[in-house]
Amino acid sequence: MDERQLEEPLITPLVKALTRAPTLMGVPYLYFMFNGVASSVCFLVSHNLLMLLVAIPLHLFGYVMTLRDDRIFEILFVKSTRCPPRSRAFWGADSYSA
């Protein structure tokens, strides 16, 4: 390699499969655990075995949401934990002081 080739940046394609969130049955692990806990709580509160079927619509909802973007639940979590800056009403956009 000559010096010119060493100075050029090495550009490699990003493989989406390597950045994909780990899933179980088509939904992210965290959502799968939430689904299990929510359906278990429904069962324990009602003492009705049929309440475990609540897991099916919850899982389908998570699966459909994950089809569009595999990190949608991480995005929604970050969005819910970050409050907008107070200057948003004044400027009409997020603005921060330097």
Determine the distance from the C-alpha atom of residue 88 to the mean position of all C-alpha atoms in its chain, rounded to a whole number: 25
Domain ranges of the chain: 21-84
CA distances from 2 to 5, 7, 8, 12 (A): 6, 9, 11, 20
Q: What is the pTM of this model?
A: 0.67
List, for residues 41-77, the tens digit of each pLDDT value.
999 999 999 999 999 999 999 999 999 888 888 888 8
